[in-house]
């Protein structure tokens, strides 16, 4: 997928997520998300933090967390979620609409997979159906499969063959797991919430 196409998907997915967020109640903002330890508000703040990331704060944060990337991301999301109100977070989606900024060391695909996956982290516990564009999901899945850090998808899913049922995509070797591209993307990212949508001899291995 061309870079300009990727960014168009990022723009549209962020805009639709902002629309979803703007309709939530105060109680829904504080609900637990799919991400352990993060509320819906924390996840929403994290998604729009990508175009705001700057080198020096990231470096200092990594030093503070002793190089533990996952701890850094976790703490930053919690900080942003508590620092900004729901209205302020939604406003940030408008402020950074169309931004092409992304953290150092990442590509345009990373903000895409971020909004696709975290959009589900927000929607699923709220009982809201959020459609995922299959071509965008396939692009994000390719990125995760090729990039060992931080998802380690190849290692976690060793011995299974993933096959999308709604788009031409497959990866891995072994017992077959079939399902929609959106469900496979969540699986690749380490989430098990999509398991009920999957079929095949490899599912018990999950």
**Helix (H, G, I), strand (E, B), or coil: what is residue 68?**
coil
Stretch 160-167: mean pLDDT, rounded? 98
Tokens 């990594």 map to which residue?
62
Which residue has better confidence, 70 or 136?
Answer: 136
Q: What is the tens place of the pLDDT at every residue in 73-82?
A: 778 788 888 8
CB contact at 8 A, 130 and 123: yes
Here the tokens at position 38 are 């993060």
Provide, rounded to the nearest whole percent, the portion of the chain with pLDDT above 90. Answer: 78
**pLDDT at position 72, please?**
66
**pLDDT at position 80, please?**
83
**pLDDT at position 57, please?**
56
Domain boundaries, the chain: 3-126, 134-205
Fill in the DSSP letter of residue 25.
Answer: -
Say if pTM beats, i.e. exceeds, 0.75.
yes
Pairing of strands 160-164, 175-179: parallel
Nearest to 115 by CA among 126, 95, 130: 130
Which residue has better confidence, 79 or 69?
Answer: 79
Q: Is the domain 3-126 a CATH 1.20.120.450 member?
A: yes
Task: Please state which of the four CATH numbers 2.60.120, 3.30.1050, 2.60.40, 1.10.3470 is assigned to the domain occupying 134-205.
Answer: 3.30.1050
Here the tokens at position 55 are 């080198």
Fold identical between 3-126 and 134-205?
no
pLDDT at 35 over 90: yes
Contacts of 130 (CB under 8 A, 6+ apart): 16, 20, 119, 120, 122, 123
Q: Interior CA angle at 124 toward 73 and 191, to 5°?
A: 55
């Amino acid at each position: 997928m061309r870079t300009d196409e990727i960014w168009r998907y990022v723009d549209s997915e962020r805009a639709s997520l902002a629309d979803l967020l703007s309709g939530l109640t105060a109680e829904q903002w504080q609900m637990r998300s799919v991400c352990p330890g993060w509320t819906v508000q924390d996840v929403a703040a994290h998604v729009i933090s990508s175009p705001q990331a700057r080198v020096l704060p990231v470096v200092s944060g990594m030093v503070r967390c002793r190089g533990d990337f996952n701890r850094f991301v976790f703490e930053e999301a919690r900080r942003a979620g508590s620092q900004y109100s729901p209205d302020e977070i939604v406003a940030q989606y408008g402020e950074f609409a169309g931004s092409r900024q992304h953290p150092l060391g990442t590509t345009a695909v990373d903000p895409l997979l971020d909004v696709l996956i975290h959009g589900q982290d927000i929607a699923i516990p709220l009982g809201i159906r959020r459609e995922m564009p299959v071509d965008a999901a396939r692009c994000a899945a390719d990125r995760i499969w090729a990039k060992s850090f931080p998802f380690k998808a190849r290692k976690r899913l060793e011995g299974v063959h993933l096959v999308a049922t709604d788009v031409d995509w497959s990866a891995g070797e072994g017992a077959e797991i079939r399902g929609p591209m959106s469900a496979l993307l969540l699986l690749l990212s380490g989430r098990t919430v999509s398991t009920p949508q999957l079929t095949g001899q490899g599912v018990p291995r999950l």
